[in-house]
Amino acid sequence: MLEVRDLAVSFEGKPFMHHVNLTVPDGDVLAILGPSGSGKSTLLRAVAGLESPDAGSISWDGELLDGVPPHARGFGLMFQDYALFPHMTVGANVAFGIEGRSDVKERTAEVLERVGLAGYDHRSVGRLSGGEQQRVALARSLAPEPRLLMLDEPVGSLDRALRERIVPELRELFLRLHITAIYVTHDQEEAFTVADQMVILRDGTIVQTGTPEQVWSSPADAWVARFLGFSNIIDVDVSAGVATAPWGTFEVPALDDGRHQVIVRETAIELNGPLHGVVRQRRFRGGHYEAAIEMQDGTILETELGVAPAIGDTSFGIDPQGVVRLPDREA
Amino acid sequence: MKRPRRISDVFLVGIPLLFLAYFFAYPLGAILLKSLVTNGRVDLTPFGDVFNRGTLRGAIWFTAWQATASMLLTLAMALPAAYVFARYRFRGKSLMKAAITVPFVLPTVVVGTAFLALLGPTGVVDLSGTVWLILIAHVFFNFAVVVRTVGGFWGNLDPRLEEAARMLGASRWKAFRTITLPLLRPALAAAGSIVFLFTFTSFGVILILGGLRFSTIEVEIYRQTITYLQLPIAAALAVIQLVGVTSILVAYSTFQRRRTIELPLRPSEEVARSPRSTSDRLLVSGTLIISGIFLGTPLALLIVRSLRTGTGFGLAAYRSLATQTSALFVPPIDAIRNSLLIATAATVLAVTIGMMAAVIVAYRTGLFSRAFDVLLMLPLGTSAVTIGFGFLVALGKPVDLRTSPILLPIAHALVAIPFVVRTAVPVMRSVRQDLRDAAAMLGATPARVWRRIDLPMISRAGLIGAGFAFAVSLGEFGATSFLARPATPTLPIAIFRLLGRPGTFPQALALATILMVLTAASMFAIERFRFGEVGEF
Amino acid sequence: MQHMSGARRSSGLILILALALAACSQDTTEPANTQRPEQITLLTHDAFAVSDGILQDFTNETGVEVQILTSDDAGTMLNQAILTKDNPIADVMYGIDNTFLSRALSEGIFEPYTSSSLSAVPESLRAGDQVTPIDYGDVCINYDKAAFENNGPSVPLTLQDLTDPAYGDMLVVEDPATSSPGLAFMLATIAKFGETGDYTWQDYWRDLTTNGVKVDAGWTEAYYSDFSAASDGTRPLVVSYASSPPAEVYYSEVPLDEPPTGVLTDGCFRQVEYAGILAGTGHAEAAGKLIDFMLSPEFQEDMPLNMFVFPARSDATLPSVFAEFATVPDHPETMDPGLIEQHREEWIQQWTEIVRS
């Protein structure tokens, strides 16, 4: 089990990460989600031992890792651009962490097969496609059976189709091999797919932790909500189960009175209801449609619909189930 | 910039420093002091004498500008060949690469005759008496330096960067100018600095091809020392030369300012591709042909002349080398064996010390590392006369090495170390840190990271450096001329002896041809050296 | 891990030492018997050559082994001896000639020695008790016979002839600042024409310059690039040695009845080469024996075909190619070594100024 307590790390000489606390139980996958520059890679490097923290502690199973060099921690790190050794073959790359073991050949073959690259042993890494390189990098970091595997944006440079196929496969792999992992990404869908637990990082500090469901259903604040992809963040006055927005009212039986900030999920907007607006834009997303509805005061509400909405005037309703209250902002 | 941790810096700095201190700084200091001290006081009047004399002032000025011109000309003329060798694969590539190093190795006195035949009064075009003869000769001798140093580095650069630029609308020339050239800068500066230093201290070329009109500091030092026996003035000139060289090196080092761009390096085998389009083919064949003619004609002339007998063409000269027994005709086997032995020793020494020093220069920033860098290059820019005599003055005690055969590899190594450092450093600096991190995360200790990651990737550069060191030693004729050496000669010395007397000219050329073949063969072998992962990249 | 990288480096250094020692051991010949013979070192220049077995004869006779150290040329060799005179690197120095002798003597690098064979050497060659004359050579103008055979002027006879327009653009000389024969020739003209009077040596050189004399840096360039008899060059007159024509015959593949080149006996300069015991040597007696040996008929008669010089011993037999084809000028120019030492620099500078213009 990994425990990070009150970690502070500088970046390029200036204090950056602070008050970072997280725990990764054995066999769990922790996703670290955050935009670029939020400190994800720095955090990973600190845990790996490639950066030294300014303050705080990192320990594994109770043993402090202070001063333990990276090669002695038993952690694996899969790099963003794979960092494959260009002067070695696929096989040599994968075998690098287990050289000297008696079963090097078997293990290499086994792990290559596991990532679907059986027979790639003698290939040169320079001629591999992006997906193949990614899998070699994965195989390489898996081979030594590290007690903690860290992945830094592992699918970032792959095309969407590949990504959507690989990420669930990764989750599958982690579960099957009981791998303890930290998965860093800026893409919330990836994070949701792969994680048992999540933390959201912003400007060097953690702003929310929880399971993917928890995070999804109750974002910690408007920023997190926006980062998770929610567009409809609205200030409303609630009174007797009715929310009043600048452009109209809708029912919110579960909310108590007062001024609140709420998220209206895109899926909560259904056509044919009491509210009126104008569909300005419609986007086909394969399985569903997205549309932007402009209200009379200019506010745009994003919706996700099963059928194509007609451009122009429309009426719609808001399903109270899809309205989430954000925690009150601190004064 | 990060570098492999925990390789003991003291060790890495200490050994090269000790070597340079004892075999360079100490002899240099000793001879200069001896020449400039009279009755226990340092006498600075020779400096005044130097600046008062028009000829000497003129020599100083000429030295500086011809070296600059030579450097620029060599860079310009050799760059296309560097490109072709870096980016293309073609038949006979290894052989050609080995062959272009041959001019570098030949003693000037041998090539001088060929140059005079081609570019003198009876030649294709008469350049005698002009500075062009000197400049062209400099390009001829230093061509290989640029091709191998720049070409080696270029051969690992990812061509996709240029391709990206072209896709963004840049013409071939613009992509070259704005993308490639800046990335090549470390290698260009490295090659340029070596060529500059070589031509700054150029002696044979100036003497033989310059005629009375042109003189450099080095020639004047020789004149003052050997002919006039005026050691104080020679010493003053040597100091001026050193000051000039040091300021250039300091400027160079500042210019190189640790802008460590971690470059995407790719294996040279991958970067090189066969010429496909017509323009490709034209470029490759055109460059190779022109370079071949430029470098090959003087050499061919020498070979042809070595085959001239009284009755047409034949191997008479070679035979007489083998069969004639007199002290003059040292069996070629002896001279070859000597040269190879000394060259091997010099190379091992230069590569060992050079790589150690290169680690410091590449990975350390700060004043010390820059000063260290300058110090390493200094032997190239120091007068051969001064170093040679310095050995005699300084190395008598505690162990008398003055006439020891070990001085030859040491003197050669002094000149070769700058090559090793210069070829290794740009590549070392380009190795990506994340590769090292990845290796560390896979459990590799810092030593293993060095051995499995850094070393293979810089090994190509190391081999190029080793090749240079070997070539330098094979052809070294500067400092060794001023040592008192045991009578078994190296090839250049044997050639020189045969050239110094009537009737033995064809034999001298025969021996020179043997030297050419030996050089090409050695370069070829080193090029092909593969040991584990060394050399592959 | 540091040990390992350290060990690899040390092994590199050990390898060098091993190689160096191996190289070293090529030169020393260990005798089969247990007693080590005395070893002396002979410092000489690159032109030194002696037949196989000659030095072995010396060892057999005297029990002294000779190690040879070579320097580039006489000037370098002299500098080396001077720089190390407090702790000499050799026991005997051979190859110092009259143009440098005075400097050597004034620096006191020799210790006196009079060889028992000195009486066989003509007085004219001797130079005091510090050095022993071993051989001499004459620097003379060589001419290409073929160039003067057909229509054209006849072979020049005197130095003055060379200023005649009929011989314009025919002469190539060497730079006295960088070439020993070049210096010798210049000294010859100074000795012949003098520094004062109606026609000085400077006038002579002005005339030569007007007449298109070419100056090369060294003998190799002059002889093998410009001299028409030995190259594709266009100059049939070159400053070389009186022993050059016999050398041409000796090394020719095709047997020759006569040399292709000839020698102008006017304006030759005699260069005498000496040997001396270096002061401070611990082997003065053995050194003396070597000098004696160098004056022995065996060594003296071996020299001409190896170094193309004439033996100092007047009773030495010359090899046939020398006897037949060598020209020994009756009255070569000479000059007091002290005078040479005094004025060498100034003369060369004057010469340079005249010829460069």
Which chain B residues contact residue A144 at CB under 8 A? 442-443
User: How many residues in chain C?
Assistant: 357
Q: Distance (Å) from the C-alpha of residue C109 to the closest C-alpha of chain B? A: 15
Both A259 and A202 in one domain: the answer is no
Kindly give the parts of chain C with pLDDT less than 70: 1-35
User: According to the model, what pLDDT value does residue C9 have?
Assistant: 42
Q: What is the pLDDT of residues B266-283, one digit of tens each?
A: 676 667 778 778 888 888
Residues of chain B neighbouring C70 (CB-CB closer than 8 A): 484-487, 489
* Same domain, yes or no: A211 and A245: no
- A124 vs B: CB within 8 A: yes
Q: How far apart are the first and last CA of chain A?
A: 37
| Partner-chain residue, chosen from B435, B442, B446, that has the shortest CB–CB distance to A97 | B442
Tell me, yes or no, whether A79 and A132 share the same domain. Answer: yes
* Residues A114 and A256 placed together within one structural domain of the fold: no
CB atoms within 10 A of CB C357: 8
On whether any CB of chain B is under 8 Å from the CB of A308, the answer is no
User: Does B457 contact A87 at a Cβ distance shorter than 8 Å?
Assistant: yes
The DSSP code for B534 is: B
- Listed in sequence order, the residues at least 6 apart from A288 whose beta carbon sits closer than 8 Å to its beta carbon are A304, A305, A306
Distance CA B523, CA B340 (A): 12
Give me the residue from B441, B456, B533 closest to A70, CB to CB. Answer: B441
Domain count, chain A: 2
Segment B95-122, tens digit of pLDDT: 888 888 888 878 787 788 788 888 887 7
- Chain B CB contacts of A85 below 8 Å: 435, 438-439, 452-453
Q: Which of A223, A250, A281 is the last residue of a domain?
A: A223
Name the pTM for this structure: 0.78
Q: SS3 of C200, please?
A: coil
Residues on chain B touching C223 (C-beta within 8 angstroms):
502
Hey, are the CB atoms on B122 and C215 less than 8 Å from each other?
Answer: no
The answer to whether position A219 is within a domain reads: yes
Q: In C, which residues are within 8 Å of B386 by CB distance?
A: none
Helix (H) or strand (E) holding B90: none
B445 or C15, which is more confident?
B445
Tell whether A331 is covered by a domain. Answer: no
Q: Does residue B532 surpass a pLDDT of 70?
A: no
User: Distance from B271 to chain A by nearest Cα, in Å?
Assistant: 10
Domain range for A106 is 2-223
Rounded average pLDDT over B67-93: 91
Q: H helices of B224-277, where?
A: 231-255, 268-271
Domain contains A228: no
Q: Which of C287, C324, C334 is nearest to C139 (CA)?
A: C334
pLDDT at C145: 92
pLDDT of residue B329: 63
Among B27, B24, B44, which Cα is nearest to B36's? B44
Antiparallel, parallel or unpaired: β A300-305 and A289-294: antiparallel
Question: Does a structural domain hold residue A156?
Answer: yes
Name the residue among B251, B249, B198, B185 with its Cα closest to residue B426.
B185
Considering only the beta carbons, identify the residue of C23, C218, C225 that sits closest to B342. Answer: C23
pLDDT of res. B325: 58
- Pair (A84, A59) in one structural domain: yes
CA distance B522 to chain A (A): 25
- State the pLDDT confidence band at B183, using cuts at 50, 70 and 90: confident
- Chain B residue at shortest CA distance from C43: B484
Taking CA–CA distances from B266, the nearest residue in chain A reads: A86
DSSP assignment of C111-154: E----TTGGGS-GGG---SS-EEEEEEEEEEEEEHHHHHSSSPP
Flag if C215 and B504 touch (Cβ within 8 Å): no
Give the residues across from A22 on adjacent strands: A4
At residue C227, the 3 state secondary structure works out as strand
Residues of B in contact with A72 (CB under 8 A): 443
pLDDT of residue A116: 87
B7 band by pLDDT with thresholds 50, 70 and 90: low
CA angle B100/B106/B107 to nearest 5° reads 155
What pLDDT, on a 0 to 100 scale, did the predictor assign at position A151? 93
Element (H, E) at B446: helix B446-449
Please name the member of A70, A71, A83 whose beta carbon is closest to the beta carbon of B434: A83
A292 domain-assigned? yes
CB contact under 8 Å between C89 and B122, yes or no, is no
pLDDT reported for residue B3: 47
Pairing of strands A323-326, A258-264: antiparallel
Chain B interface, best mutation among C10, C76, C234, by max B CB count within 10 A: C76
Residues of C in contact with B15 (CB under 8 A): 9
Position A141 in a domain: yes
Same domain for A241 and A125: no
What element of type H or E holds B481?
Answer: none
A164 and A269 belong to one structural domain = no
Please identify among residues 27-46 of chain B the ones whose CB lies closer than 8 Å to any CB of chain C.
Answer: 31, 34
In sequence order, what are the beta bridge partners of A264? A323
Q: B185 by DSSP, 3-state: which?
A: helix
pLDDT of residue C6: 36
C282, two tokens: 């611990």
Q: How many CB pairs lie under 8 A apart between chains B and C?
A: 228
Best residue in C28, C219, C253, C344 for a mutation probing chain B (most B CBs within 10 Å): C253
Q: Running DSSP on this structure, what letter comes out for residue B483? A: S
Give the tens place of pLDDT for each residue, B123-175: 788 888 889 999 999 999 999 989 988 888 888 787 777 777 777 777 778 88
> How close B535 gets to chain A, by Cα (Å)?
10
pLDDT tens digits, C36-78: 778 999 999 888 888 888 989 999 999 999 999 988 888 889 9
Pick from B267, B432, B440: CB nearest A87: B267
Same domain, A281 and A302: yes
First to last CA, chain C: 68
Q: SS3 of C214, please?
A: strand
Q: What is the pLDDT of residue B281?
A: 86
Chain B residues 339-398 within an 8 A CB cutoff of chain C:
341-342, 344-345, 348-349, 351-352, 356, 389, 392-393, 396-397
B397's enclosing H/E stretch is none
| Cβ-nearest to A77 among B441, B444, B446 | B441
Taking an 8 Å Cβ-Cβ cutoff, which residues of chain B contact chain A? Answer: 265-267, 270, 432, 434-435, 437-446, 449, 452-453, 456-457, 533, 536-537
Domains, chain B: 6-29+53-320+328-529 (1.10.3720.10)
Do A93 and A29 lie in a common domain?
A: yes
Minimal CA–CA distance to A6: which of A21, A17, A16?
Answer: A21
Indicate the pLDDT class of residue B437, thresholds 50, 70 and 90: very high
Whether A23 maps to a domain, the answer reads yes
Nearest residue, CB atoms, B533 vs list A81, A87, A144 = A87
Name which of B199, B197, B73, B94 is nearest B151 in CA terms.
B94
Q: How far is B424 from chain A (nearest CA, A)?
A: 17
Contact list in C for residue B392 (CB cut-off 8 A) is 80, 83-84, 89
Taking one residue from A and the other from B, the number of pairs with CB-CB distance under 8 angstroms is 71
Looking at A193, A223, A253, which one is the last position of a domain?
Answer: A223
Instruction: Find chain A residues with C-beta within 8 A of B159's C-beta.
Output: none
Phi then psi for residue C34, to 5 deg, are -80, -30
Per-residue pLDDT at B400 exceeds 70: yes
pLDDT in tens, B364-394: 777 888 888 899 989 988 988 888 899 989 9
Chains C and A touch (3+ CB pairs under 8 A): no
pLDDT, residue C25, reads 45
Q: Which domain CATH number covers A178?
A: 3.40.50.300
Which candidate from B349, B499, B503 shows the least CB-CB separation from C251? Answer: B503
pLDDT attached to residue B185:
83
Give dist(CA B476, CA B390) in Å, integer: 17
**How close does chain B come to C327, measured CA to CA in Å?**
16
Each residue's pLDDT tens digit, B280-291:
888 888 999 999
**Contact flag C68-B348 (C-beta cutoff 8 Å):** no
Which chain B residue has its CA at the smallest distance from A78's CA?
Answer: B438
Domain boundary among A223, A250, A278: A223
Rounded to whole angstroms, the Cα distance separating A18 from B521 reads: 62
Q: List chain B residues with CB under 8 Å of A127.
A: 270
Tokens encoding A174: 């982690």
Nearest CB to C223 within list B450, B497, B502: B502
How far is the C-alpha of C237 from the C-alpha of B390, rounded, in Å?
40
* Residues of chain B with C-beta less than 8 angstroms from the C-beta of A94: none
Pairwise CA distance, residues B491 & B333, whole Å: 10
Residue type for B288, please?
Answer: L
Strand order in the sheet with A29-33: A75-78, A148-152, A181-185, A29-33, A197-202, A205-210
Three-state SS across chain A? CEEEEEEEEEECCEEEEEEEEEEECCCCEEEEECCCCCCHHHHHHHHHCCCCCCEEEEEECCEECCCCCHHHCCEEEECCCCCCCCCCEHHHHHHHHHCCCCCHHHHHHHHHHHCCCCCCCCCEHHHCCHHHHHHHHHHHHHCCCCCEEEEECCCCCCCHHHHHHHHHHHHHHHHHHCCCEEEEECCHHHHHHHCCEEEEEECCEEEEEECHHHHHHCCCCHHHHHHCCCCCEEEEEEECCEEEECCEEEECCCCCCEEEEEEECHHHEEEEEEEEEEEEEEEECCCCEEEEEECCCCCEEEEEECCCCCCEEEEEEECHHHEEEECCCCC
Residue C311, phi then psi, degrees to nearest 5? -70, 145
Residue closest to A64 by CA, chosen among A47, A50, A51? A47
Pairing of strands C171-174, C214-216: parallel
Phi first, then psi, for residue C230 (nearest 5°) are -120, 5
pLDDT at residue C171, as a whole number: 95
Which residues in chain C have Cβ-Cβ distances shorter than 8 Å to B213?
Answer: 356
Let me know whether A88 and A198 are in one domain.
Answer: yes
For chain B, list the contacting chains (3+ Cβ pairs, <8 Å): A, C
Q: Do A125 and A189 fall within a single domain? A: yes
Distance CA B175, CA B167 (A): 10
Q: Which residues are paired to C275 by β-bridges?
A: C94, C132
ipTM: 0.81
Residue A140 lies in a domain: yes
Tell me the shortest Cα–Cα distance from B435 to chain A, in angstroms.
5
pLDDT per residue, tens digit, chain A (331 aa), is 999 999 999 887 788 888 899 999 999 999 999 998 888 889 999 999 988 899 999 999 999 998 888 888 989 999 888 889 888 899 999 999 898 889 999 999 999 998 889 999 999 888 888 889 999 999 999 999 899 999 999 888 788 888 888 889 889 889 988 989 999 999 888 999 999 999 999 998 999 999 999 998 888 888 999 888 888 888 889 999 898 988 888 888 888 888 988 888 888 888 888 888 899 888 998 888 999 989 888 888 888 888 888 888 888 888 888 888 888 765 4
Same domain, A245 and A318: yes
